[in-house]
Amino acid sequence: MAVADQAVLFRWRDLRKRALSAAILAPGAMLCIWLGELPWTLLIAAAIAVLTYEWVHLCGLRARSLPGLAVPAAVFLAAGAAVAGEYLGAIFALLAGFIMTWALAIALRGRIPRLLPAVLLALGVLAIGIAGLALIWLRGSADAGRANVVFLFVVVWASDIGAYLAGRLLGGPKLAPELSPSKTVAGAVGGLVAAVAAGTAAAAWLAPGVMAAAALLAALLGVATQIGDLLESALKRRVGVKDSGALIPGHGGLLDRLDGLMAAAPVAALVALAHGQDTPLWR
């Protein structure tokens, strides 16, 4: 086999695993969105369990003992309050959990030599918790919840796919080598273009409205998706690992798969909060 052919095969070595994983995970997520609040809430609970486990392990701890245990405990407490409709209580639980986790990590530092900066562990409470609350709240609208969450997922997935394909096909200058050595400017542009195209098409199908507004919103969420991806890459680089876990073939851990969504969901929730939870985001 020629060297050039080998290089092409190496560049696309994970494509098959990625495609198979997406073919399994995407329909399951869409089904839970479509069926209603209960299946969706159960899916969010399962995601929170895995995400907090991965975050704590990235910080060099175990999630079944303190201070690592404080991360899932705080996030699940906040999620429970959100399901009950007590969103102010949920936000208070996240803030209190952040402070308590930080304090516990500082207090126990002498007994845990592998512990990364205490604030990094505590940030997991906010990063995972805020995203979880946003997703529960967005889907909670009987009028627009389904459309808004489907729109959000379509944009995030399109951004990821567009960035992957453009980056692998075009290569070129690195986007932020100090944060992520593999991401390129071409990938960022490709992801943004794909997010806008897919978001506009999804909005036209879900609830036709002002397509310029849908395109602008998709661009905003696409940028947030890429920022989330970069921040998670920076976290992994800080702890010296390639993937957050090995749960999803071709993708690594669940945190690797949902990093963009975790950043985009709060942005979508803020947009919904600004003009009404029961209205499609692009109207």
Sequence length of the chain is 283
Q: What is the pLDDT of residue 251?
A: 64
Three-state SS annotation for the chain: CCHHHHHHHHHCCCHHHHHHHHHHHHHHHHHHHHHCHHHHHHHHHHHHHHHHHHHHHHCCCCCCCCCCCHHHHHHHHHHHHHHCCCHHHHHHHHHHHHHHHHHHHHHCHHHCCCCCCHHHHHHHHHHHHHHHHHHHHHHCCCCCHHHHHHHHHHHHHHHHHHHHHHHHHHCCCEEECCCEEEEEHHHHHHHHHHHHHHHHHHHHHHCCCCHHHHHHHHHHHHHHHHHHHHHHHHHHHHHCCCCCCCCECCCECHHHHHHHHHHHHHHHHHHHHHHCCCCCCCC
pLDDT at 226: 97
Bond into 266 cis (ω within 30): no
Report percent pLDDT > 70 for the chain: 90
Answer whether residue 5 shows pLDDT above 50. no
The pLDDT score that the predictor gives to residue 35 is 93
Cα gap 71→81, rounded to integer Å: 16
pLDDT one-digit tens code per residue, 151-205: 999 999 999 999 999 998 998 999 988 888 889 999 999 999 999 999 999 999 9
- Angle made by CA atoms 167, 192, 161, in degrees to the nearest 5: 50
**Are 232 and 244 within 8 A, CB to CB?**
yes
- Taking all residues of the chain, what is their mean pLDDT, rounded to a whole number? 90
Give the pLDDT score at 10: 44
The pLDDT-based confidence of 4 (bands split at 50, 70, 90) is very low
- Kindly state the average pLDDT of the residues 127-151: 96
In the predicted model, is pLDDT for residue 123 greater than 90? yes
Q: What confidence score (pLDDT) does residue 19 get?
A: 75
What's the pLDDT score for residue 29? 94
Pairwise pLDDT comparison (113 vs 281), residue with the higher score: 281
CA distances from 216 to 203, 220, 245, 261 (A): 12, 6, 34, 17
Stretch 245-263: mean pLDDT:
84
Q: 45-79, pLDDT tens digit by residue?
A: 999 999 999 999 998 888 998 999 999 999 999 99
C-alpha span between 174 and 181 (Å, rounded)? 7
pTM for this prediction = 0.93
Percent of the chain past pLDDT 90, that is, above it, reads 69
Q: How far is CA 217 from CA 136, 169, 184, 208, in A?
A: 20, 27, 23, 14
Confidence of residue 114 (pLDDT cuts 50, 70, 90): low
> What tokens were used for 21?
């994983």
Place of tokens 């909670």: 140
Spatial distance between the Cα atoms of 92 and 36, rounded to a whole number of angstroms: 26
Beta bridge partners, 252, equal: 248
Closest CA relative to residue 33, chosen from 157, 149, 202 = 149
- Tokens 């992801």 identify what position? 191
